[in-house]
Amino acid sequence: MAKGVRIAGVWKVFPPNVVALKDISVEIRPGEFFVILGPSGSGKTTLLRIIAGLEIPTRGSVAIGDREVVNVEKGVFVEPRDRNVGMVFQNWALYPHMTAYDNIAFPLRLKRMPEEEIKKRVTEVAEALGIAELLDRKPGHMSGGQQQRVAVARALVKQPDVLLLDEPFSNLDARIRVTAREFVKELQKKLGITTILVTHDQADAFAVGDRIMVLRRGETQQIGVPEELYSSPANVFIANFIGDPPTNIYKLPTSHRLVKSLGIPQGVEEGYGELYIGIRPDEAAALKPGDEGHLEGRVVLVEYVGSRRYAKVDVGDGVSLKVLLECDANTGDPVRVRVQKVHVFAPSGERLATLTY
């Protein structure tokens, strides 16, 4: 039966006074695929290593299921080998002189498990991951995707309560990366194992995560399902960090023409001399000049992203918006911009409202 993970009031301070994690608390549900997302230096890998027992927090506690594995205040610390977690590292950390079979069997041999039981477990996990034909090969004779599967097999052969993944897709080519994400997601759902993924890549997070926690400078910014993070960003950082292409964000006085054109309700802007206005490129469109819209502007750049066309439109007063291009306009042509949704934030950055038109 899958076990959840409870993180309560976790701090990590590195000497002399570098705060890597600040009061992190979250309940990860049994069988959930949970993602810790953030830019470099946000503390996400430090948090994963604390769960694994490779780092000791300065304060706080972590429990796997009903068992506390670390509680600084109570003096509790369970060694990594006794936590029954499986971990896949960014570089996969396979032993180059060992075959895939021996790499997978390694953690079981450390436990002095009978060779017959080792063979049974290795064979089972290799067949489940589709790498049974690779067991006699060494890492140097495998592709990146195959090496990744061997690393996952080595983590799973222990039959862990929790699977920890530290940037496991970052060393893969773009096309293999997509396949690897699908494989890991399908495997996790099939096994029902609680899985925690650390990544800086929102595409990875959105592809596999049931819920996502976004960290910045060691602090939790928002926890939610992917749609929630995209549609209702908690602050300016989330709005800017989540989404591709990036959100158009401008800090403008409430008297600015863009604010007035969008009809920001007086109750939202009341008490503020300026606001952050966020418009996602996929939630606005450039149309023909005669069409109904909020703003007039002129195309300064056209970009193709897959099957979609985006236009950067100068709407005047120092504001340019990247939006979907839904007419035949080219650089220099006049257009009308229609906005479907706008995210409004206070000067301090916290979300005030999301307005739909």
How would DSSP label each residue in 97-150? TS-HHHHHHHHHHHTT--HHHHHHHHHHHHHHTT-GGGTT--GGGS-HHHHHHH
- 161: DSSP letter: S
Inform me whether the pLDDT recorded for 172 exceeds 80. Answer: no
Strands (E), the chain: 5-14, 18-28, 33-37, 59-64, 67-71, 76-77, 85-88, 162-166, 194-199, 211-216, 219-224, 248-253, 274-279, 284-287, 295-305, 308-316, 319-325, 334-339, 341-345, 351-356
Confidence band, pLDDT 50/70/90 cuts, at residue 330: very high
Mean pLDDT calculated for residue range 6-10: 98
At the fourth CATH level, which superfamily is domain 245-356? Nucleic acid-binding proteins (2.40.50.140)
Confidence band, pLDDT 50/70/90 cuts, at residue 333: very high
Inform me whether the pLDDT recorded for 171 exceeds 80. Answer: no
pLDDT in tens, 284-315: 999 999 899 999 999 999 999 888 999 999 99
DSSP 221-253: EEEE-HHHHHHS-SBHHHHHHSSSSPPEEEEEE
Would you kindly state where each structural domain of the chain is located, as residue ranges?
5-231, 245-356
Mean pLDDT calculated for residue range 273-293: 95
pLDDT in tens, 311-327: 999 999 999 999 999 99
Mean pLDDT over the full length of the chain? 93
Domain 5-231 bears CATH identifier 3.30.930.10: no
